[in-house]
Amino acid sequence: MGCACGTKKDGKVSGCNNNGACGTGGCNKMNVFDWLSNMEVPVKDRFDVVEVRFKNGFKEFFRNTEKLDLTTGDPVIVEVPNGHHLGYVSLQGELVRLQMKKKNVVNDGEIRKIYRIAHTKDLERHAEVQKREMPSLHRGREIIRQMKLNMKLSDVEYQADNSKASFFYSAEERVDFRELIKVLAGEFRVRVEMRQISLRQEAGRLGGIGVCGRELCCSTWLSSFRNVATSAARYQNLSLNPSKLSGQCGRLKCCLNFELETYMDALKHIPDINKPIQTERGDASLQKTDIFRRIMWFGFKDESNWYPLSVDRVNEILALNAEGKKPATLEQDELVEREPVSVLNSDLERLDKKFSGRNKKKSKGRRRDGRAGGNAPQGAQPSSGQQKGGGQPNNRNGGQPNRGQSSGNNNPNRGRGRGRGQGNGPRNPQPPKSA
């Protein structure tokens, strides 16, 4: 079943029909929202060029010469060199004219045409052809490994008429694959076309999850790739570790470029601190800056606590220092926390407090058990209120029983430390069973 994204003829949203979602190789991958779909355009003035999407988001423009009534997501059979191929309509109407202008595509006679809307047999034949792609990919990698070519085969796409196979590869250097084409053509009995793609394009075709937890930008919405320099990371005060700055493609992350403008705009409102600020308490050094929340953390030399200050408060202190004055303390803004933020081993301190409380409870319970006589040595006198042989009671109240030694057993905690059989009877005595 083909994708059915877009709007039906009656104006209802058709949806994806569980064929995939955005960025997962489904029908909405790198699609443009047709915000002109509800506008009534005369048929004679309708733009006859349609954007068709193929495997892994590859798009191309075709002319609707047959005046077919197409809907976004419809499978169509299009003209390709030496055969035909199956694709899905991704965009039509006036927005296609804008896309062609953006991609510098000339509307001339070189644009190929759409034959027809694909029927059930076309879809079944295309599904059978797609089953050959994965085995061909594994076999092609084995052949490349045997020929010891310095290239990486990433994807294989078969034409819908099963007459041609396109092998997509990436390589750092120029590769002589003339012998490879002969071997692949003899192995799979089809015409072979080798297409070299960049590492960024390879990551966009394969997809994946980035370090941010979202799908890769190159596989969802980013269509044009710009060069990324390490200066973009320096301006953002990021670590220059290549492993942290590299994306799935092994190159610098594209997000460094389009995040730089936002970072530089927010950085304009942050004061430049070249030396510690002066207070009557001492000099406070800058420890951390949150440019988007406009909060700056300062810490004194002999303390491990950091004090958050707003940008306005920092500017006030800098103005006072320029006049030769020192504020009494680092007064914090009302919008931020007034208590100092402990940043050194805060998690470990919480764990220590948690487990230290448990240990105190256990030790307290053990001391209580020892006083109750649960671990008394052999030969010790029982701690009952009545002494054998008329002996004097062992207390300091002149023979008066203590609170915990009353004969009435009013203390409910008296027998907690005793072992089995050493208490004054069971707490909840059971009635005797009748014979």
Among residues 4, 26, 5, 29, the alpha carbon closest in space to that of 223 is found at 29
Cα torsion 106, 109, 115, 117: sign: positive
Pairing status of strand 295-300 against strand 305-310: antiparallel
pLDDT in tens, 366-405: 555 555 444 444 444 444 444 444 444 444 444 444 444 4
CB-based contact 123:2 (threshold 8 Å): yes
Structural domains of the chain sorted by starting position, each given as residue range(s) with its CATH number in brackets: 1-118 (no CATH), 131-203 (3.30.300), 277-342 (no CATH)
The mean of the pLDDT values for the chain is 76
pLDDT in tens, 178-222: 999 999 999 999 999 999 998 888 888 888 898 888 888 888 888
pLDDT in tens, 29-88: 556 666 666 666 555 567 889 999 998 778 899 999 988 988 888 999 999 988 999 999
pLDDT in tens, 314-330: 999 999 998 988 888 88
* E strand or H helix at 133: helix 133-147
pLDDT in tens, 138-163: 999 999 999 999 999 999 999 999 99
pLDDT number for residue 424: 45
What's the whole-number mean pLDDT along residues 98-122? 91
More confident residue, 355 or 63: 63
Instruction: Report the alpha-carbon distance of residue 278 to residue 322 in Å, rounded.
Output: 10
pLDDT in tens, 283-314: 899 988 888 889 999 999 888 888 899 999 99
pLDDT number for residue 367: 55
Instruction: Report residue 392 as tokens.
Output: 């004097």
Instruction: Report the alpha-carbon distance of residue 425 to residue 315 in Å, rounded.
Output: 76
pLDDT number for residue 191: 94
Instruction: Report residue 289 as tokens.
Output: 């800056």
Secondary structure letter of residue 180 according to DSSP: H
Site of tokens 């060069």: 227
